Amino acid sequence: MEQRVIFSLGYSGVKPEELQAVVEQYDLMVVDIRYSPRSMNVEWTRKRLMDRFGERYVHIRELGNTEYKSGNINYADLGAGLALAREQLEDHSLIILCACSDVVHCHRLPVVALLSEQTGVPIVFWTAADIHRMATEGGAPIQLSFFTPPTESSTPPGSRIYSVNEAADYLGIKPETIKYHIYTSGHLKGQRTGGRRMLTEEELEKFKEKMRKKKQ
């Protein structure tokens, strides 16, 4: 089987016709993980995307964030959704799609990280500019934010996510201390992911710097 890739994309600023050109050129499957696939821009509604991409589009509601209006993250059914995504990955490289352009604070980041961890398939983070470049200039898919599964040391800062225990190991402190700073001091926030509290590397680095300054 040829090498698969998981592409992460927030469609804000993306022209649907340019995304279509990229999907067709590289034989990709668009996996929409919005809980409610609606948009004020009608071109990004589920019906329009189905019309445009046909069999190259699938909506996996199980990977949608049921609390998207509040800013918290709670997946409809993370385990089932990842299983469906793995099935799609057997036949195509995937574009994991939602609206957010900022992947660090989007529910898309834990999804692509977990999917990569489960399958060993690398991730490429795309932006609207990447889609425009490929659609208008051609050439190989850009890989400025390319990294292999989250266990690799090559993961760029801010991209990996950690459980409470993993965050404790990363910072060299006890899990109880992490929980204290999440639930009591408020110095750490994290995001609810599949019933668990997860923290990004970016947040942990900021916390570490804050604690370092506090000791000075």
The CATH number that applies at residue 120 is 3.40.1010
Q: What is the distance between the alpha carbons of residues 186 and 41, in angstroms, rounded to a whole number?
A: 37
What is the residue range of 173's domain?
161-215
Predicted model pTM: 0.67
Q: Tokens 């402190």 correspond to what residue?
A: 173
Number of domains in the chain: 2
| Residues in contact with 134: Cβ distance below 8 Å, sequence separation at least 6, in sequence order | 18, 21, 22, 25, 141, 142
The CATH number that applies at residue 188 is 1.10.1660
pLDDT given for residue 27 in this prediction? 92
Q: With 50 as the cut, is the pLDDT of residue 67 above it?
A: yes
Q: What is the distance between the alpha carbons of residues 181 and 213, in angstroms, rounded to a whole number?
A: 16
Using a 10 angstrom Cβ sphere, with 0-12 exposed, 13-18 middle and 19 or more buried, the burial of residue 116 is buried
Q: Do 125 and 38 share a structural domain?
A: yes
pLDDT given for residue 192 in this prediction? 63
Q: Using DSSP, state whether 182 is helix, strand or coil.
A: helix
Digit-coded pLDDT (tens) for 112-170:
989 988 898 888 888 898 899 889 886 555 444 444 433 333 334 445 677 788 888 88
Decide the pairing of beta strands 123-126 and 57-59.
unpaired
Mean of all residue pLDDT scores within the chain: 83
pLDDT given for residue 187 in this prediction? 84
Q: What is the distance between the alpha carbons of residues 65 and 61, in angstroms, rounded to a whole number?
A: 9
